[in-house]
Amino acid sequence: MRPLLHFTAESGWINDPHGITYIDGQYHAFFQYVPGKTVWAPNCHWGHAVGADLLSLRELPVAIAPGEGDGGIWTGSLVRTDDGAARIFYTSTSEPNIGIGRIRVATPLDDDWIAWRKGDVVADAPDELDIIAYRDPFVRRDGDRWRMFVGAGLRDGTATALSYVSDDLESWRYEGIALARSTDETEPVWMGALWECPQILEVDGRSVMVSSIWDDDVLHHAGYAIGDEENGVFAAETWGRLTYGDSYYAPSLFFDADGRPCLLFWMRGIGGASDGWASAHSLPHVLSLRDGQVWTTPHEDLLGHRGPRSVDGTTPRPMADIEWDAGGDGQLEITVGGVPAASLRIEGAEVAVTVGGVTTTVPAAGDLRIVIDGPVLEVSTGVALFGARLTVDDAQLTTNATAGTLRVYPLA
């Protein structure tokens, strides 16, 4: 099955979302794209889609493609100046050392951002650091200047976010390491040897760094740091893990139509060769801080895709938005066509999620939100997110909870 609301390309492979921007009543969402393949390849393109919300995206032509000195167009970000002009900053890669990219700029050739002109390389890996990986620029305002953070891994196993500054988005000056952590540090959370897509934004008056965790070509979870950032230097006070399961990776920070900080993820393992398309993007999640932790909530745009509440807790298709207020320990069973699809068991401050015979324990701090969109499962516990692939038929979904209040809404 293809998801109803989670974005997938018509064909080909997608991964990291990026450059998500709300303008003139619609969202523009860009993403890593490999046309003609259902597995990743280094010759990535920047795909492009638009929609009134992030659950109604319509795919557009490729925005930026390899060539003109780029072997691959990898992850980056989009910013707009005070006069509305747009700039994309992306990772330009070339064989043989694709792990160490260069940061290049592109500008739109039309008001709809359909075609883009490549510009100069604005940043390279600094010579004074022993870098083995360098990519994923994230650009934002910093007072009357611009700040860019780039992910880098050092040979000694240190994950870093490097800091650059510019007055005009054209000339960039490297200022040093914004934040770093050794892969040997494991408490309270392990943050790997390279941060892919490290992004730093203000959330509820504090600075938050969110990134993917990479180590030795293995993609792990998304983690975060909370602290204070000033002049491109981040002083971390708290480290945390945000995602669980084998699906979520490559978080993308953006502001929604109301100016709130939000996250969107690449979801691995959805689709495949037999489908002709591979991978999906997650629901948008609104970020906030509570009790010294990053808190996520599925975006309210999801409510616009709900049908009337199901009286008996079933939906005709495996497409449902489920709210579960267990009120304590309890068990929730979800079946599709009479076949077990997922189960959730709450015990204290944890929820054990079982999919395909594999159980993952996830911290929980509030009511659970469970979204099933055909082959995609997302579970929001407040302080954590769990994502997984479901193997389901297009059949009736049934829910059964042993405790609390269950509200089930079909999705359309």
339 and 400: one domain? yes
pLDDT in tens, 78-95: 999 999 999 999 999 999
Residue 16 a catalytic site member: yes
Does 392 map to a domain?
yes
264 and 349: one domain? no
Domain of 406: which CATH number?
2.60.120.560
Does 1 map to a domain?
no
Does 81 map to a domain?
yes
Does 89 map to a domain?
yes
338 and 285: one domain? no
Does 398 map to a domain?
yes
Burial of 247: CB neighbours in 10 Å, binned 0-12, 13-18, 19+:
buried
151 touches 195 (CB < 8 A): yes
Evaluate if residue 107 carries a pLDDT over 90.
yes
Buried b (16+ CB within 10 A) or exposed e, 181-214: bebeeeeebbbbbbbbbbbbbebeebbbbbbbbb
- Which of residues 301, 334, 366 is at a domain's end? 301
Percent of the chain at pLDDT > 70 equals 100
22 and 160: one domain? yes
Does 7 map to a domain?
no
Evaluate if residue 315 carries a pLDDT over 90.
yes
294 and 337: one domain? no
Residue 365 DSSP one-character state? -
- Complete DSSP assignment for 145-160: EEEEEEEEEETTSEEE
pLDDT in tens, 282-295: 999 999 999 999 99
239 and 311: one domain? no
Domain of 230: which CATH number?
2.115.10.20
69 touches 48 (CB < 8 A): no
- Which of residues 301, 333, 350 is at a domain's end? 301
Q: How far is it, in rounded angstroms, from Cα 104 to Cα 23?
A: 23
Q: How far is it, in rounded angstroms, from Cα 228 to Cα 355?
A: 38
In sequence order, the β-bridge partners of residue 206 are 203
- Which of residues 301, 328, 348 is at a domain's end? 301
57 and 184: one domain? yes
159 and 291: one domain? yes
Q: Choose the catalytic residue: 16, 53, 246, 321.
A: 16
Q: How far is it, in rounded angstroms, from Cα 213 to Cα 161?
A: 12
- CA-CA-CA-CA torsion sign (267, 269, 275, 277): positive
Does 384 map to a domain?
yes
- Reported as type and span, the H/E element at residue 337 is none
Does 2 map to a domain?
no
Domain count, the chain: 2
Tokens 């990134």, residue?
211
Binning pLDDT at 50, 70 and 90, where does residue 320 land?
very high
295 and 252: one domain? yes
Q: Domain limits at 193?
A: 12-301
- Complete DSSP assignment for 51-97: ESSTTS-EEEEEEE-SBTTBSEEEEEEEEE-TT--EEEEEEEE-SS-
